[in-house]
A and B are shown apart, each in its own frame.
Chain A
Amino acid sequence: MHIMEGFLPLDWAVFWWIIALPCMAFGIYRLKKVLEADREALPLLGVTGGFMFILSSLKLPSVTGSSSHPTGTGLSTICFGPWITSVVAAIVLLFQALFLAHGGLSTLGANIISMGVVGPLAGYGVYRALRETRVNMYLTVFLVCALADLLTYITTSLELALAYPAEVGGVSSSFILFIGIFAITQVPLAIVEGVVLALVFKYIVQLKPEILLRLKIFPEEKIRAARSEA
């Protein structure tokens, strides 16, 4: 989902940076609040950020004959919400822009919006909708992670379509074209990412349920029920 350095015209690069900056500023503010309230949230942040590092480094081949990588943002979205996730995603994307030439500094704003803001926001919507319902906790984690991944790539397609509308059909036909490149490739990856992160969440539930309860990530009954099953 990286938009390569130089592939976004200056005005669009600046536009996405202007939206990304306040999101990250709010994320840093929220992060400070969370850590002030509970220092034990820090290791959990480490785990969610760690998985973002691991998963976004794996470039996997997919059905369209091209390769892509998962984003790993879903876990952090569930535990800390989309704004803090945007800060962690920005760190991962900065690493890749500086050392791997994947994405660039001018396109970083657009890449933060897709991977750190829109994807996680969509996932967070699903999480909030399902959190209190009878839907299985791990199924919720799966859906959040898969959707956050997929929406990231749909957003990238939209960002590129806005910057490069097709001569015939404008933004919408260009959007469909980019969806074909980015989002279709991503579907199997998003599914695998969702399942793997649901499994990771299970291990967090088994090892450190206290922190999930203290941060009120899922209702107590759900976590207790999941623990008694294992």
Chain B
Amino acid sequence: MPFKYKLEILAILAVLGFCALFLYTSSIMSDAKFAGSDTVGSSQIAEMTGKAEDEFQPLIWQWTPPSGEIESALFALQAAIGGIIVGWVFGYWKRQKKKTA
């Protein structure tokens, strides 16, 4: 194992381990829906208070994405914004490094 890439190999192993864990979990918990923990937390509150979930009215009006697909698109947009900034800065640093070299 080349010493130089120790951290890269560790990161790949961590991600692979995470995937394996998911496969294992989904095989032993066949009824698991993998809903967001926010949603699970909200239903827990509803259960504790004895109220239906839709009785929790927003205190401040909120726009909700009209469909799951649009929500996914907006999540992808959020990641893209982050990706663009990170990519731009790494490129900027690389260019600076070349100039000074």
Q: Which residues of A contact B (CB under 8 A)?
A: 1-7, 10, 13, 43-44, 46-47, 49-68, 92, 95-106, 138, 153, 156, 160, 164, 166, 174, 177-178, 181-182, 185-186, 188-189, 191-192, 195-196, 198-199, 202-203, 207-208, 229-230
Q: Is B35's CB under 8 angstroms from A57's CB?
A: no
**A contact residues around B74 at 8 Å (CB):** 99-100
Of A138, A166, A178, the most chain B CB neighbours within 10 A belong to A178
**A102/B38 contact (C-beta < 8 A), A192-B14, A208-B93, A230-B4 known:** yes
**A196/B14 contact (C-beta < 8 A), A50-B89, A61-B25, A104-B58 known:** yes
Interface of B is mostly: helix
**A46/B41 contact (C-beta < 8 A), A51-B82, A164-B49, A199-B11 known:** no
Q: Is A105's CB under 8 angstroms from B60's CB?
A: yes
Q: Is A106's CB under 8 angstroms from B86's CB?
A: no
**B contact residues around A177 at 8 Å (CB):** 44
Q: Which residues of B contact A (CB under 8 A)?
A: 3-4, 7-8, 10-11, 14-15, 18, 21-22, 25-26, 29, 31-42, 44-45, 48-49, 56-60, 62-65, 71, 74-76, 78-79, 81-86, 88-90, 92-94, 96-97
Q: How far is the CA of A4 from the CA of B58 in the complex (A)?
A: 9
Q: How far is the CA of A64 from the CA of B88 in the complex (A)?
A: 37
Q: How far is the CA of A49 from the CA of B35 in the complex (A)?
A: 27
- Report B53 CB to chain A, min CB distance, Å: 9
**A contact residues around B86 at 8 Å (CB):** 46-47, 50-51, 54
Q: How far is the CA of A63 from the CA of B29 in the complex (A)?
A: 9
Q: A7-B42, A191-B18 are in contact. List 4 more A-B contacts (CB 8 A).
A: A4-B42, A43-B93, A101-B71, A196-B11
Q: How far is the CA of A129 from the CA of B68 in the complex (A)?
A: 44
